[in-house]
Amino acid sequence: MGQHPANYFSEIDNTLAGQLAEKFGTPVFIMDKRGLLQRYYDLHAAVTQRYKHSMIAVSYKTNFLKGILALLHGVGAHAEVVSGVEYAVAKEIRLPHQRIVFNGPMKTRSELLMAINDNALINCDHEDEIDLIEQIAKDQRKVVPIGLRIYFREAQSSWSRFGFQVDSALSDTATEALIRRIRVSPNLHLAGLHAHIGTNIRDVQHFSRLGKYLSSFASLLKARFNIELDWIDVGGGLAGISPRKDENREVPYELPDAHEYADAIITPLLGYINSLTKPPLLIFEPGRTLFEASGGLLTRVIGRRSVTAGKSQALILDAGMNALSTCYLYDFPIRNFADNSDYVLTRLLGPTCNQADQLHTPIVMPSLNIDDLLLFYGVGSYCMAFSYSFIRFRPGVIIWHGDTFSEWIRHPETLSSNAMIGHVPESFARMNV
């Protein structure tokens, strides 16, 4: 299963790695433009071939880089945002014909007003948010369409941190009261449903069950309340390639097949969709499965710890948990460029003064020397967004166009560009020490 080879950076050999390190320095994140676009095209084709009114809305939180997002918007992707900050970025870089899907548990009055005026798709997380939208709509003398983020009581794997608990049979009194509360408002229109069942899911049967629950629930909304939905947002959650540490897996996964995923989630919904007078929009929000495989981190060995009888090595790298901030959870795949066959058990340590700064479960790999390069890949999701300044500044990011052409999309952080360290107040500067 999967459409690409397991090693997504196989074209970067020792020569090209050295050239990139020489031009851009290390550590440096790398985004593979061709791999990213191919995964987007695969996902888009898979969903639209099965249901033409499908939309790919890219998860901004997964990789919050303007250059990457602009690239995807340029080929037709829409935006899925979960904060006012992300919304502002989407407005700045998106193309005029594209839609913003506004999710998340915190939306301020001013942000909601902007979204309403922009005709964005708003999925509500809690009751107070519904009340706030109703107030704004009343002030604006509008009827505002809203979606509800829901999770199903009978789905044991559902995330329950966000949204409204419902049952697919619509038998719960609280669920019915929520629907009726929206129905009686002259300023609200229940237009959509949103569900997001988790993260890094490999078994597509979870998505098939989600489709069945959504179909049952939406069909009952139509039968009992005569509500025909304008959109159904199935969220994201499809897996990438990096193994979790608790899986004890030595090789990366292949990407889940986009067509199997599309079949699993769309097929159960078609019965409901075909019963409507107007076909609804079906929204997909890929994040990890879109970005992860196309991200790498080039780092070099800057020190070695004692080796016991030549049977192990401990290498200190110039990138650590400040760059690969989810390394505590995932064993990211690694490429090395050594040409020797002397394999030993290896610990990979970051440069920060933190006992936990270890980038991988101990792994057997060739003996390496100072300045040898390593390439972690499968790091395109969250690592670039979560990277932070701790002892070392966060790395820059380049986009690799293939062959030898690469360019900056985020410059490395410097003392003058780092906002975390703050500034010295003027009153302190006047003090006599």
Residue 371: CB atoms within 10 Å: 11
Asked if residue 243 belongs to a domain, the reply is yes
The predicted structure's pLDDT at residue 159: 66
- Which band of pLDDT confidence, cut at 50, 70 and 90, is reported for residue 418? confident
Please state, in angstroms and rounded to a whole number, the distance separating the CA atoms of residues 24 and 412.
9
In one-letter notation, the amino acid at residue 368 is L
Flag whether pLDDT at 311 surpasses 70: yes
Runs of H (alpha helix) within 353-405? 383-386
Beta-carbon contacts of residue 274 (< 8 Å; ≥ 6 apart): none
Asked if residue 199 belongs to a domain, the reply is yes
Specify the long-range contacts of residues 109-112, CB closer than 8 Å, at least 24 apart: 109/136, 110/84, 111/84, 111/87, 112/136
Quick check: pTM over 0.75? Answer: yes
- The parent domain of residue 231 ranges over 33-292
Asked if residue 99 belongs to a domain, the reply is yes
Please state, in angstroms and rounded to a whole number, the distance separating the CA atoms of residues 75 and 235.
20
Beta-carbon contacts of residue 34 (< 8 Å; ≥ 6 apart): 401, 402
Flag whether pLDDT at 432 surpasses 90: no
Average pLDDT (213-226) is 96
- Do residues 21 and 373 lie in contact, with contact meaning Cβ atoms separated by under 8 Å? yes
Dihedral of alpha carbons 235, 241, 242, 247, sign: positive
Dihedral of alpha carbons 178, 179, 185, 188, sign: positive
Dihedral of alpha carbons 255, 258, 260, 265, sign: positive
Higher pLDDT, 270 or 431: 270
Flag whether pLDDT at 87 surpasses 80: yes
Asked if residue 37 belongs to a domain, the reply is yes
Residues of the chain with pLDDT > 90: what percent? 80
The predicted structure's pLDDT at residue 156: 60
Flag whether pLDDT at 6 surpasses 60: no
- Which band of pLDDT confidence, cut at 50, 70 and 90, is reported for residue 310? low
- Which band of pLDDT confidence, cut at 50, 70 and 90, is reported for residue 144? very high
- Chain-wide mean pLDDT for the chain? 92
- Do residues 188 and 143 lie in contact, with contact meaning Cβ atoms separated by under 8 Å? yes
Asked if residue 433 belongs to a domain, the reply is no
- Which band of pLDDT confidence, cut at 50, 70 and 90, is reported for residue 419? confident
Cα dihedral: 324, 329, 335, 336 (round 10): 80
Residue 250's closest CA among 369, 316, 345, 324?
Answer: 345
CATH classification of the domain holding 161: 3.20.20.10
The predicted structure's pLDDT at residue 7: 59
Q: What is the 3-state secondary structure (H, E, C) of 49-84?
A: HHCCCEEEEEEHHHCCCHHHHHHHHHCCCEEEECCH
- Do residues 313 and 346 lie in contact, with contact meaning Cβ atoms separated by under 8 Å? yes
- Which band of pLDDT confidence, cut at 50, 70 and 90, is reported for residue 4? very low
DSSP, collapsed to helix, strand or coil, labels residue 337 as: coil
Average pLDDT (395-424) is 90
The predicted structure's pLDDT at residue 285: 98
Could you report the per-residue pLDDT of 321-360, keeping only the tens digit for each? 999 999 999 999 999 998 877 899 999 999 999 988 999 9
- Which band of pLDDT confidence, cut at 50, 70 and 90, is reported for residue 1? very low
Please state, in angstroms and rounded to a whole number, the distance separating the CA atoms of residues 32 and 183.
47
Average pLDDT (68-93) is 96
The total of structural domains in the chain comes to 1
- Do residues 392 and 421 lie in contact, with contact meaning Cβ atoms separated by under 8 Å? no
The predicted structure's pLDDT at residue 157: 57
Average pLDDT (383-387) is 93
**DSSP calls for 266-326:** HGGGHHHHTTSSSPPEEEE--SHHHHGGGEEEEEEEEEEE--STTSEEEEEES--TTTSTT
- Which band of pLDDT confidence, cut at 50, 70 and 90, is reported for residue 172? confident
Asked if residue 207 belongs to a domain, the reply is yes
- Do residues 205 and 225 lie in contact, with contact meaning Cβ atoms separated by under 8 Å? no
Radius of gyration (C-alpha) of the chain in whole angstroms: 24
Asked if residue 124 belongs to a domain, the reply is yes
Asked if residue 244 belongs to a domain, the reply is yes
